[in-house]
Structure 1
Amino acid sequence: MHLSIPYLSKYIKEKSGETFGEIVRNIRMKKACTLLKNKSMTVEKIADCVGYQNVEHFNRLFKKKYEMTPVQFRNKK
């Protein structure tokens, strides 16, 4: 596309109101929620599937976004 990374980052932020990192994180968390509803996968496997090698980091980000841990989210329904 011949666009610089800083220009593209600024453009994404202007058009969406979110940074590229925030958009990626939101997509990952939505996918994690979908996977958590299927109780056959462990939280560790889900974290890895959505792009987090460190499950503790995934748990912190998930709790920050949804105000509950992934296990609490899975058990609430």
Structure 2
Amino acid sequence: MHLSIPYLSKYIKEKSGGTFGEIVRNVRMKKACTFLKNGNMTVEKIADSVGYQNVEHFNRLFKKKHGMTPVQFRNKK
């Protein structure tokens, strides 16, 4: 695309209101919520499936975003 990284980062922030990392994190968390609601995969498998190799890191980010752990989210119905 022949665009500089700083320009592309600024463009993404202007158009979406979030950084590239925030957008990726939001997409991953949305997919994780879908897996938690609609399946019986382990939290470890879900973390790996959405791009987190470290399940503890995934749990921390999930709790920060949703105010509960993935297991609590799954059990909330």
Counterparts of 1:1-77 in structure 2 under 5 Å?
Answer: 1-77=1-77
Q: Deviation above 2 Å: which 4+ runs of structure 1?
A: none
Whether contact under 8 Å (1:35, 1:46) holds in the other structure is yes
Whether contact under 8 Å (1:39, 1:74) holds in the other structure is no
Whether contact under 8 Å (1:13, 1:20) holds in the other structure is yes
Structure 1: gaps (5+ residues): none
- For the residue of structure 2 that corresponds to 1:41, the secondary structure is coil
For 1:47, give the aligned amino acid: A
For 2:47, give the aligned amino acid: A
Report sequence identity in percent.
Answer: 90
For 2:31, give the aligned amino acid: K
Q: May I ask how many residue pairs the two structures share in their alignment?
A: 77
Report Cα offsets for 1:31-68 as digits up to 9, x if no partner.
Answer: 00000013420000000000000000000000000000
For 1:67, give the aligned amino acid: G
| Cα root mean square deviation, aligned | 0.7
- How far is the alpha carbon of 1:72 from its aligned partner? 0.2
- For the residue of structure 1 that corresponds to 2:74, the secondary structure is helix
